[in-house]
Amino acid sequence: MNIASKYNPADVEDKWYRYWMEKGFFHSEPDQREPYTIVIPPPNVTGVLHMGHMLNNTIQDILVRRARMMGKNACWTPGTDHASIATEAKVVGKLSQEGIKKSDLTREQFLEHAWDWTRKHGGLILEQLKKLGAGCDWERTCFTMDEKRSESVVQTFVDLYNKGLIYRGVRMVNWDPAAQTALSDEEVNYREQQGNLYYLRYQIVGEDGYAVVATTRPETIMGDTAVCINPNDPKNSRLKGKKVIVPLVNREAPIIEDDYVDAEFGTGCLKVTPAHDVNDYMLGEKYGLEVIDIFNDDGTLNHHGLQYEGQDRFAVRRQIVKDLEAAGLMEKTEAYENKVGFSERTNVPIEPKLSMQWFLKMETLAQPALEAVMNDTIRLIPAKFKNTYRHWMENIKDWCISRQLWWGHRIPAYFLPQGGYVVAETPEKALLLARKQTGNNSLQPSDLRQDEDVLDTWFSSWLWPISVFDGIKNPDNSDIAYYYPTSDLVTGPDILFFWVARMIMAGYEYRKKPCFRNVYLTGIVRDKTGRKMSKSLGNSPEPLDLIARYGADGVRMGLMLSAPAGNDILFDEALCEQGRNFNNKIWNAFRLIKGWETAAIPQPEAAAIAGRWFETQLTQTIESVNESFDKYRISEALMDVYKLFWDEFSSWYLEIVKPGFQQPVDEQTYRTTIAFFDALLRLLHPFMPFITEELWQALEERNDGESIMISAMPESNRDEKTENIMEDFEQVKAIVANIRTIRTQKNIPVKEPLVLQVIGEYRPACDPVLIKTANLSAIEPVAEKTPGAVSFLVKTTEFAVPMASNINREEERAKLLEELTYQQGFLTSVLNKLNNEHFVSKAPEKVIENERKKQADAESKIKSLQESIANLR
């Protein structure tokens, strides 16, 4: 197989991905092997690849490829999410460009447009993942609104309703005026906002005085139905039992008393607007107050807004401030910072709103899900997220599961002509239930009206680990029995509650088991300055452009070099360049090895020693990599293999065993080197699938259907008899490093052989390696070094290189004196610290130990320098 002089990812990546697909290597069916299962966090069906997807799916692909090479039956199930709010917003936007309003369409007409949009744009992101090398089982691709998943969602709703866990009622909800739908509490992000605190005058009925009320929302006064004071607040006791007039509205409202009011906030008087504040709503229920909803669904004011009807809420705020000031009803305004809730989807301020919605009771569902994480039946990685998880689960609220949208799973509730409703999987079943419930057998399908709302998108994705294997509709099928519980989940901590916690609840409710064993929580991908990546900031590179520039393997490596679990990723494109350089290093090492000529000659002793050493080094790295994967330290595992290839294999092993110029290599060394290269490629494959497949196929003759991705991961081959070789070899490295430094400092050519003198204890086991790598003519144990020799210490053993005619004595003496002066000054500064009682009494013990080590090192260097200077006289 001819190998190109330079690695070009474009020549390799599509070729091997097509090969893997054609051979069905990604596909899994139940068998006798241990299963390893991952379900993909389904991206939005019309979404495109961003850096967060790149990171998340790189990690999943690494885990799946490794599991397959460890002999497991690996199944990575892909799919997409219908994303109700996001997709509907895109379809509405597209229709708007065509001059069509959603309100001008019937539900059926709108859904035709939505399905057209989904068919046109849907699944693009999955095709993009293939460019990354994602080894998903594409034959198992699911969509949260395909037939099986939709039937599973509807069946689950009916089941939970029949269990008494789903109910319908008017509640205060988070309303998104942009999407015009309710949101769950988890879909609201609170941010500090700089605003104002407005002090409004409410005239006391029958008096000339005022009750002054502080509020951040003067635009809601049209919904005020009371003013509340704390009964224990002496400064407002004069208001007890009285009424006030709501400014501009001229409606009387009672003064009520409740301990809820913070007497220290503002003036201690609270305007009560039951329709537009959660706490006010509770006061309203407690004291039987009228509820006046002043907002339309789009955030404009309705007829209760009087002269402001039809205007946007924030425009009204600006205008009403002017009107209150003109009427003399504004006491003062103060700058004020408070937390405002924003829609997670549309990024507009949410509006608390009373609305008829469907809710799911969470308390009983949450209990087993809480216990599973706290007792590590399900592990969160990193574990620091356990406390956050516990806090949320212990304070869980009922889940608002209805959304005022058309795109999504329509709620299977059917309203009856005379009031009430039935819940059923199909209209046919609903009709039978309705006839039974009403006793009216003449009811027709046209008499029933299905609820217009759809279910929250998360209500389908919380079933994902079960529904992808059809475990809701067919709970005893062979796939769910084999692949469930799944093994690992890789996702972001931002959806720990939206998705992960709810999947765990569904798992225990419908399978009585955890839905996965481990949850690997990635960090947020940020730029190198720490800013979150976004297109608006212009700091988010286009993933496919990165792949085109650096190759998929280079980008994967760049991401993983900066991706410790749970910590934010400071992504720098230079890391992709580092990944590409590593590709080139691997490629060039392969070309070097395959360029050797072999001959039936004896194996040099240095090569034999290097082989034993690298075998031990390889075994240690395999064990280290295994341990890192066990702890989900995937970046550390990559660094271990990276260092093994770059530092140990390329810089040391190959330098030792490579033959001289135009000389052959012995057959044993060649076979050993090819075996090492094969093992290194297999270790690297999960991280860098494309280049490893290309080179593995070229390493020796392969049959059609063979692939590195279905070969076995190298195993540890520890031999206690070779343990000493690691220590001996580290000594060789240190000696060689010192000799290279001497050559550089003394301008001695690498080709000029040197003599190495050894003063003290020394194991000569690796002498052949040392002679070759340092280009020595001899290694001589001596009692005393030659006068004028340059010496150095490795641990407690002194080594010396006689200089003979190699140095200018005066120049060398000047250099040594300069270094001696520096070391003596350094020692003085260290001793000053150690002789300072204040420093010694206050500094931690480790710091003091470090200073003492500095002292010992400096004293040793000074002694050696003084001896060297004396030898030059």
3-state secondary structure 528-554: CCCCECCCCCCCCCCHHHHHHHHCHHH
Residue 186 has what DSSP assignment? G
Q: Which residues contact 635 (CB under 8 A, 6 or more apart)?
A: 560, 561, 562, 563, 564
E strand or H helix at 215, and its extent?
Answer: strand 210-215
pLDDT band at 813 (very low <50, low <70, confident <90, very high): confident
With 0-12 / 13-18 / 19 or more C-beta atoms within 10 angstroms meaning exposed / middle / buried, residue 193 is middle
Q: Each residue of 420-429: pLDDT tens digit?
A: 999 999 999 9
Task: Report the pLDDT value the prediction gives residue 70, as an integer from 0 to 100.
Answer: 97
Q: List the one residue out of 300, 170, 301, 171 whose CA is nearest residue 223.
A: 301
Contact between residue 613 and residue 674 where contact means Cβ atoms under 8 Å apart: no
Q: Report pTM.
A: 0.84
Work out the number of other CB atoms within 10 angstroms of the CB of residue 194: 8
Task: Report the pLDDT value the prediction gives residue 561, as an integer from 0 to 100.
Answer: 84
Q: List the one residue out of 70, 72, 59, 135 whose CA is nearest residue 714.
A: 70
For residue 295, list its beta bridge partners. Answer: 301
For residue 580, list its beta bridge partners. Answer: none
For residue 379, list its beta bridge partners. Answer: 518
Q: Each residue of 16-50: pLDDT tens digit?
A: 999 999 999 999 999 999 999 999 999 988 888 88
pLDDT value at 535 more than 70: no
With the CA atoms of 113, 114, 118 and 121 taken in that order, what torsion angle do they form, in degrees rounded to the nearest 10? 60
Q: Which two tokens stand for residue 466?
A: 């079960």
- Which of 208-235 are b and which e, b meaning 16 or more Cβ less than 10 Å from the residue's Cβ? eebbbbbbebbbbbbbbbbbbbbeebee
Give the rounded percent of residues in the chain with a pLDDT score beyond 70: 98
CA–CA dist 694, 552 (Å, integer): 13
- Please tell me whether residue 184 adopts helix, strand or coil conformation: coil
- Please tell me whether residue 180 adopts helix, strand or coil conformation: coil
E strand or H helix at 182, and its extent?
Answer: strand 181-183
Contact between residue 397 and residue 183 where contact means Cβ atoms under 8 Å apart: no
Task: Report the pLDDT value the prediction gives residue 857, as an integer from 0 to 100.
Answer: 87
Q: List the one residue out of 320, 204, 219, 306 whose CA is nearest residue 252.
A: 204
- Asked if residue 485 has a cis previous peptide bond (ω within 30° of 0), the answer is yes
CA–CA dist 860, 814 (Å, integer): 20
Q: Each residue of 252-274: pLDDT tens digit?
A: 999 999 988 888 888 899 999 99
Give the CA diameter of the chain: 122
Radius of gyration of the chain (CA): 37
Q: Each residue of 834-866: pLDDT tens digit?
A: 899 888 888 888 888 889 889 988 888 898 888
At residue 640's C-alpha, the angle toward residues 636 and 642, to 5°, is 110
pLDDT value at 51 more than 70: yes
Residue 150 has what DSSP assignment? H
**Unique residue bearing structure tokens 């290097």:** 610
Q: Which two tokens stand for residue 411?
A: 């709620």
With 0-12 / 13-18 / 19 or more C-beta atoms within 10 angstroms meaning exposed / middle / buried, residue 837 is exposed
CA–CA dist 669, 667 (Å, integer): 6
Task: Report the pLDDT value the prediction gives residue 186, as an integer from 0 to 100.
Answer: 75
Contact between residue 823 and residue 862 where contact means Cβ atoms under 8 Å apart: yes
Q: Each residue of 360-399: pLDDT tens digit?
A: 999 999 999 999 999 999 999 999 999 999 999 999 999 9
Residue 235 has what DSSP assignment? G
pLDDT value at 808 more than 80: no
Q: What is the mean pLDDT of residues 777-785?
A: 92
One-character DSSP codes across 290-313: -----B-TTSBB-GGGGGGTTSBH
One-character DSSP codes across 6-63: S--HHHHHHHHHHHHHHTTTT-----SSPEEEEE--PPBTT----HHHHHHHHHHHHH
With 0-12 / 13-18 / 19 or more C-beta atoms within 10 angstroms meaning exposed / middle / buried, residue 495 is middle
For residue 196, list its beta bridge partners. Answer: 335
Judged by average pLDDT, the poorest of 184-188, 330-334, 768-772 is 184-188
Task: Report the pLDDT value the prediction gives residue 171, as an integer from 0 to 100.
Answer: 81
Contact between residue 388 and residue 496 where contact means Cβ atoms under 8 Å apart: yes
Q: Between the CA of residue 254 and those of 245, 282, 291, what are the distances in Å?
A: 9, 16, 14
CA–CA dist 294, 82 (Å, integer): 33
Q: Which of 180-189, 427-436, 815-824 has the highest mean pLDDT?
A: 427-436
Task: Report the pLDDT value the prediction gives residue 52, as an integer from 0 to 100.
Answer: 87
Q: Looking at 276-366, which runs of residues are DSSP E strands?
A: 330-343, 351-360
How far apart, in Å, do the first and last CA atoms of the chain sit?
63
Q: Each residue of 552-591: pLDDT tens digit?
A: 999 999 999 877 655 788 888 899 999 999 999 999 999 9
- CA 241 and chain centroid, separation: 57
Task: Report the pLDDT value the prediction gives residue 738, as an integer from 0 to 100.
Answer: 95
Q: Looking at 600-709, which runs of residues are DSSP E strands?
A: 665-666
Q: List the one residue out of 87, 77, 76 whose CA is nearest residue 44.
A: 87
Sign of the dihedral defined by the CA atoms of residues 679, 683, 686, 688, in that order: negative
pLDDT band at 4 (very low <50, low <70, confident <90, very high): confident
Q: What is the mean pLDDT of residues 531-543?
A: 78
Q: What is the mean pLDDT of residues 444-448?
A: 94
Task: Report the pLDDT value the prediction gives residue 714, as an integer from 0 to 100.
Answer: 96
For residue 194, list its beta bridge partners. Answer: 337
Work out the number of other CB atoms within 10 angstroms of the CB of residue 737: 12
CA–CA dist 819, 822 (Å, integer): 5
Contact between residue 273 and residue 348 where contact means Cβ atoms under 8 Å apart: no
Side chain identity at residue 725, one-letter code: I
Contact between residue 510 and residue 472 where contact means Cβ atoms under 8 Å apart: yes
pLDDT value at 536 more than 90: no
CA–CA dist 345, 146 (Å, integer): 23
Q: What are phi and psi of 677, to 5 degrees?
A: -65, -40
CA–CA dist 681, 697 (Å, integer): 11
In this structure, the chain runs to a length of: 873
CA–CA dist 604, 610 (Å, integer): 10
CA–CA dist 770, 811 (Å, integer): 29
Q: pLDDT higher for 186 or 805?
A: 186
Task: Report the pLDDT value the prediction gives residue 872, as an integer from 0 to 100.
Answer: 67
Q: What is the mean pLDDT of residues 212-221?
A: 93
Q: What is the mean pLDDT of residues 182-195?
A: 85
pLDDT band at 120 (very low <50, low <70, confident <90, very high): confident
Q: Between the CA of residue 165 and those of 7, 509, 577, what are the distances in Å?
A: 59, 12, 54
CA–CA dist 509, 363 (Å, integer): 12
Task: Report the pLDDT value the prediction gives residue 564, as an integer from 0 to 100.
Answer: 67
**Unique residue bearing structure tokens 């130990």:** 849
Q: Between the CA of residue 525 and those of 447, 560, 563, what are the distances in Å?
A: 53, 11, 9
pLDDT value at 620 more than 80: yes
pLDDT value at 736 more than 60: yes
Mean pLDDT of the chain: 92
CA–CA dist 817, 799 (Å, integer): 21
- Please tell me whether residue 569 adopts helix, strand or coil conformation: strand
Give the rounded percent of residues in the chain with a pLDDT score beyond 90: 72
Task: Report the pLDDT value the prediction gives residue 380, as an integer from 0 to 100.
Answer: 96
Contact between residue 174 and residue 184 where contact means Cβ atoms under 8 Å apart: yes
At residue 269's C-alpha, the angle toward residues 263 and 272, to 5°, is 120
